[in-house]
Structure 1
Amino acid sequence: MPTPDQLSTDATVAVLIAPGLEEVEALAVIDILYRAGIAVDMLAVGEDLEVTSSHRVTVRCDALLSEADLASYTMLVLPGGLPGTPNLRSDPTVVAEVARRMGADLPLAAICAAPSILAELGLLADRRATANPGFLHVLDAHGAVTSQEPVVVDANLVTSRGMATAVDFGLEIVRMLLDDEAVDRLKTAIVHQG
């Protein structure tokens, strides 16, 4: 991802791009972060920089996950989609970093089916979270305090419901990394109606 001409922060974000992801859940967030002046890297989960989404859209990533140091990023974003979510879940590097971040209360964001990864790892017990309606039962079964709000923020964890909530999800990430004023400016710039 090209670095914005004017950075607003030294915070950096890694968006994990796994085969079969829901592309809007990744690209809407990336676009919002770019507009906010936040550096983003798209990291390919697998052995190829080109990753094909669940809707057969091919995205060219900045680097391979295997070449990146996830701990060096301020925030990690997990897009959903099928089979994108199971592909994230099956990667040991992703699982280890998600567990580390949740244990240390470091910024992490997951949308659609991806919050189910955290639940299955036992990381959402007594945490407020949301997910795609088809995956809320997974969160419930693992002790999360679930919500049907479009976006839920619990300390340094941001979760969201799906493709239609991706812009609001991105805005909450900006709020976490910058502030309310940055979000208000973005809402005006993108003609956000919410």
Structure 2
Amino acid sequence: MSRSLSGKRVAFLVTDGFEQVELTGPKEALEQAGAKVEILSSQAGTVKGWNHDKPADDFEVHRTFEQAKNEDYDAVVLPGGVQNSDTIRLDKGAQHIVNLINGQNKPIAVICHGGWLLISAKLVTGKTLTSYKTLKDDLVNAGADWVDEAVVVDGNLISSRQPDDIPAFNEQLIKALSA
């Protein structure tokens, strides 16, 4: 992953309860490749990551969903985590951002339970995606073609199943941003 992403900006959309490694793993890879990363959330201040079912670290929120401008970002990353994903999917600001980014055909990278936001934003119909296995029915019922693979790229959508897939996820995200 030696591609330079200098000048690229990536937004991570989260609320409390995101799977911490699904933020920190891609964030570190993007920053090492030269990208600037910002954490966006519904509220200013900090958001709390989780290590599966246990609270973990706090992270600074750079902007709220309402303060964010889609033209400021070259891609969006949606970490999973059940609590985060169940909350963020209902947030109209988060839905608005992913719809704008999608409309500009910029990469939207989603891992684990993060696909719930794409379902609520009505972006999965006719798309091939993967996710954590418990989201399979939700994605299929929303019109997606679900596959059990480490990483799937369908147009501007990049999806992965779980933390074990983060290296493949990072590689595809960096590749998409390098294009």
Pick the TM interval, shorter chain.
0.7 to 0.9
Amino acid across the alignment from 2:98: V
- Post-superposition offset of 1:20: 0.6
Pairs aligned (count): 172
Q: Secondary structure at the match of 1:110?
A: strand
Runs of 4+ in 1 over 6 A off after TM superposition: none
User: 1:119 & 1:87 partners in 2: Cα distance?
Assistant: 13
Residues in 1 aligned to 2:160 and 2:120: alpha-carbon distance in whole angstroms: 17
The offset of 1:133, in angstroms, is 0.2
2:12 aligned partner: 15
Give 1:112 shift. 0.5
- Per the TM alignment, residue 79 of structure 1 is displaced from its structure 2 partner at its CA by 0.6
Mapped contact 1:12–1:39 kept (Cα < 8 A): yes
Unaligned runs of 5+ in 1: 1-6, 180-194
Aligned: 1:124 with 2:100: no
Q: What is the distance in 2 between the residues matched to 1:8 and 1:48?
A: 27
Give the one of 25, 30, 33 matched to 2:30. 33
Offset, 1:16: 1.6
Deviation for aligned residue 1:102: 2.6
Which residue of the partner structure matches residue 3 of structure 1? none
CA distance in 1 between counterparts of 2:98 and 2:124 reads 11
1:60 Cα offset (Å): 2.2
Going from structure 1 to structure 2, the CA distance change for 1:59 and 1:17 (only over 3 Å counts) comes to farther
Aligned AA (1:19)? D
- In structure 1, what is the Cα distance between the partners aligned to 2:175 and 2:90? 30
Instruction: State the superposition RMSD in angstroms.
Output: 1.8
Aligned-partner SS, 1:126: coil
Taking structure 1 as the reference length, what is the TM-score of the superposition? 0.81
Structure 2: which 5+ runs fail to align?
A: none
Counterpart of 1:49 in structure 2: which amino acid?
G
Q: Deviations over 1:103-124 (max 9, x none)?
A: 4422211111111221233311
| Counterpart in the other structure of 1:177 | 177
Higher fraction of strand:
2
- Distance in 2 of aligned mates of 1:31 and 1:84: 20
CA contact (8 A) 2:151 2:159 kept: yes
1:31 maps to amino acid: E
Q: How far apart, CA to CA, are the structure 2 residues paired with 1:47 and 1:125?
A: 30
Identity of aligned residues (%): 26
Question: 1:105 and 1:121 mapped to 2: Cα distance?
Answer: 15
- How far did residue 11 of structure 1 move? 1.8
Contact 1:80 1:110 in 2 (8 A): yes
Residues 74-133 of structure 1: per-residue CA shift (max 9 Å, x gap): 101111102100221122111111122334422211111111221233311111111110
Q: Deviations over 1:53-92 (max 9, x none)?
A: 2331122225132433233201011111021002211221
Q: Distance in 1 between matches of 2:63 and 2:8?
A: 20
Query: Which structure has the bigger radius of gyration?
Result: 1
Moved more, 86-95 or 114-123: 114-123
